[in-house]
Amino acid sequence: MKYNLTFIGLVILLFLVSACKENTAYQKQLNNPELYLTTTKQLTDVIVYDIFSPPVASRVYAYPSIAAYEAMLPAYPNKYASLSGQLNGLSRTPKPSEENINYHLASIQAYLVVGKALIFSEEKMEAYSQSLYKKLKNDGLPKQVFNNSMAYGNQVAQHILDWADKDMYKQTRSYPKYTIVNEDKLWKPTPPDYMVGIEPHWMKIRPMVLSSAQQYPPIPPVDFDLNESSEFYRQLKEVYDIGNELNEEQKAIASFWDCNPYVSHHRGHAMFATKKITPGGHWMGIAAIASRKANNSFDETIETHAKVSITLFDAFISCWDEKWRSLMVRPETLINEHIDEDWLPLLQTPPFPEYTSGHSVVSRAAAITLTDIYGEGFAYKDTVEVEFDLPSRDYESFLEASEEAAISRLYGGIHYMMAIDNGVTQGEQVGKHIVNNLQTRIAKE
């Protein structure tokens, strides 16, 4: 009898230990920042698959990141400040009405719900979420905690989606396309597909921290003048000459920062396309690299992604405002018409006006934000493009990377230096404005 009672006690003890292990398993997963990073990578993969343009992709990144940030706040009442009242038009986020909520799980749910609402391939995000939640349940996540967390995540997601619905995106879907004007100085579609201009009304989208799309306009481009003694012609000829004399390192830099979501290839009568990440997607990838290297916690990782995505969103609005105001013609068009009809840039020219350089603007703005978070001497290895068969590159700082991203557009043959230099300045202004006007941490007294 004594032996039987001892045996039963051991069985009960083993059962309790096993149950504790199961609880630890799901808690460990929900405290691991890799869960959030894996989720953001899933969204990036769908953005690539669905071929969103660079400005639209920035919108797809921003709203889910904000939803995740707002959903985690109740777990950190003395650490983080809500973005409501700071972002244009964002009202106070609903407070949870239930207990037994895991706010990391609520953040993931809010991110997934908002992300799924902004993409085309919803089934890919749905498959990911179902797989994730099945694993968490198998690892011992209590049913009540799961249900309450889902409910709060959904509530925050709906709040963010209601806000997003008022940013003019839907209205601009029905606005007219740009009508081509046959003047040498104005933008025209470029080879090989002569695509229509992308997002000519993006400046009408509501910014998040900027007061308006026009808050930081760059200086005007140099006067259009095809006289060989003019400054404009000198910059045009510079694109042509450098494009003809590229060394291997310059080619590698241009290719690494290409970030063209849709590059078409023509082989005789056949045509196929290569899909890649956007400039914003590249910098969201850098945010993930920095989060990992800094050994950020789950909440700190969400904070970084929210701040970077907001910066990218406003930077694209600022840049696109200038692009469709100045309507500057691309170098490829003028070189083919006035210098060399057979010349091709190393990179495929994107389908929108030239001035200012989008990568220069958004890269500098994102670098300013990341530097504010991690410091000036934050060295890292950029592996974002490895999955697209490009080798990694090493940088001593985010600002150094942004400088290389900017000059890559000259090497690629798609921008004049004025668009690059003035784009960097524009991005610096946007980035500093966001750093100075967006507060995520609660100041300690």
- DSSP notation for 209-251: SSS-TTSSPPPPPPPP--STTSHHHHHHHHHHHHHHS--HHHH
Contact 133, 146 (CB under 8 A): yes
Burial 274-297 (b: 16+ CB within 10 A, else e): eebbbbbbbbbbbbbbbbeebebe
pLDDT in tens, 211-240: 999 999 999 999 999 999 999 999 999 999
From CA 427, how far away is CA 435, in angstroms rounded? Answer: 12
- pTM (2 decimals)? 0.94
> Phi, psi (5° rounding) for residue 441?
-100, 140
- Is 244 exposed, middle or buried, given 0-12, 13-18 or 19+ CB atoms closer than 10 A? exposed
What's the pLDDT at 11? 47
CA 434, CA 340: separation in Å to the nearest integer? 43
Residues present in the chain in total: 445
Q: What is the pLDDT of residue 266?
A: 76
Residue 444, pLDDT score = 74
pLDDT of residue 273: 75
Instruction: Give the Cβ contact number of residue 58 at 10 Å.
Output: 29
C-alpha distance from residue 202 to each of 44, 100, 120, 416 (Å): 21, 42, 20, 23
Residue closest to 53 by CA, chosen among 272, 199, 177 = 199
Cα angle 5, 11, 15; round to 5: 145
DSSP 127-162: HHHHHHHHHHHHTT--HHHHHHHHHHHHHHHHHHHH
Compute the radius of gyration of the chain from its Cα atoms: 25
416 phi and psi, to 5 degrees? Answer: -80, 160
- Which alpha helices (H) appear in 32-142, and where do they start and end? 33-50, 54-72, 103-117, 122-138
Cα–Cα distance for residue pair 274/271, rounded to 1 Å: 10
Cα(200)–Cα(176) distance, integer angstroms: 9
**Which amino acid is residue 317, in one-letter code?**
I
Question: What pLDDT does residue 366 have?
Answer: 98
Q: For residues 421 and 214, what is the distance between their CA atoms, to the nearest angstrom?
A: 19
* DSSP string over 337-381: HHT-TT---SSPPPSS--SS-HHHHHHHHHHHHHHHHH-TT--EE
- Tokens describing residue 189: 């579609």
Local confidence pLDDT in tens for the 445 residues of the chain: 444 545 455 445 444 444 444 457 999 999 999 999 999 999 999 999 999 999 999 999 999 999 999 999 999 999 999 999 999 999 999 999 989 999 999 999 999 999 999 999 999 999 999 999 999 999 999 999 999 999 999 999 999 999 999 999 999 999 999 999 999 999 999 999 999 999 999 999 999 999 999 999 999 999 999 999 999 999 999 999 999 999 999 999 999 999 999 888 777 667 777 899 999 999 999 999 999 999 999 999 999 999 999 999 999 999 999 999 999 999 999 999 999 999 999 999 999 999 999 999 999 999 999 999 999 999 999 999 999 999 999 999 999 999 999 999 999 999 999 999 999 999 999 999 999 999 999 987 5
Q: Could you identify the residue written with the tokens 């660079």? A: 54
Q: Which of 91, 96, 89 is nearest to 110 (CA)?
A: 96
Specify the amino acid at residue 442.
Answer: I
What is the three-class DSSP state of 272?
strand
Burial 17-53 (b: 16+ CB within 10 A, else e): eeeeeeeebbbebbeebebbbebbbbbbbbbbebebb
Distances (CA, A) of 55 to 60, 174, 219, 348, 352: 9, 17, 22, 18, 11
Dihedral pair phi/psi, residue 66, rounded to 5°: -65, -40
Q: Which of 426, 304, 315, 435 is nearest to 368 (CA)?
A: 435
Token pair, residue 157, equals 């997601």
What is the rounded distance in angstroms from the CA atom of residue 401 to the CA atom of residue 189? 30
